[in-house]
Amino acid sequence: MFTVCPSCRHQRRPEETGDPGICPACRLVYAKWAKRQLGISAERPANGPQVVIYGDGLTEPIRWRDRLLQVDPRAGALHFWGHAAVYLIVFVWGWYFILLDFRSNAIGESFLHAVNLAFHEAGHVFFMPFGRFMTILGGTLGQLIMPAIVMLVFLLKNRDNFAASIGLWWFGQSLMDCAPYINDARALQLPLVGGGPGADRPGSQDWENILGTLGWLHHDHRIAWLADAAGSLIVMTALAWGGILLFRHHRQLHAP
């Protein structure tokens, strides 16, 4: 069933001729593990495709829903309590951001705004070779691309679903962080990097330039509301994802 045990990481050697459904090192029954983790049968199909789960060859197709909700069988109690502590922080922090009125720019006073701002400014530089419009838009893209990269690296490379859920949470928070800036496209009252509001520095506010170029400047409040609403929904989705993973992890620790 498996070329490498999903629990102890033992790789079966050619001379180990015991039951192929049981790990010769830790005696894990693969069928029971697959049923508990994925809700699927571990019986070998006649001509079924192979998929990779934590680097192990499992002869059964896996649905993306199962893949996203999978918990590393090697993760013990220490991992669980560490994840639980992180989840509590992002849960409280996430609802704090969701309940803020984006028109007040209170989100701009948070620690994460400073983090997002660093990637925002880096985005301007990164997109500079693609012309003036992309250079301006690149600030917003920069602060959204970075958490997206974090999420995808944890999801596809590290296969750490819980960490990926935190990356998704950051993506949603960063999108919400954009809303006050978008909402200020006509008012030009928010302070800019370097000091002073946009009204004192004509042509310096990103979203005044972006929406003005597109002819959408009169839609600034609506677009800001959409950004805040979408970011809030993404944060809630990330919290639900992380919560389900914690529940499954807890159940795995106490499985017979």
Tens digit of each residue's pLDDT (9 = 90 or more) over 146-194: 999 999 999 999 889 999 999 999 999 999 999 999 999 999 999 998 8
Q: How far apart are CA 2 and CA 119, in angstroms?
A: 42
Residue 49: C-alpha distances to residues 44, 46, 61, 161, 239 (Å): 10, 10, 6, 23, 33
Residue of higher predicted confidence among 106 and 15: 106
Q: Determine the average pLDDT of the residues in 243-248.
A: 95
Give the C-alpha separation, 110 to 108, whole Å. Answer: 6
Nearest to 94 by CA among 245, 204, 234: 234
Residue count of the chain, please give it.
256
- The pTM assigned to this predicted structure is 0.78
| pLDDT-based confidence at residue 128 (cuts at 50, 70, 90) | very high
Quote the percentage of the chain above a pLDDT of 90.
62
Does the structure show a pLDDT above 90 at 145? yes
Span 35-50, mean pLDDT? 50
* C-alpha to C-alpha distance for 167 and 208, rounded to whole angstroms: 29
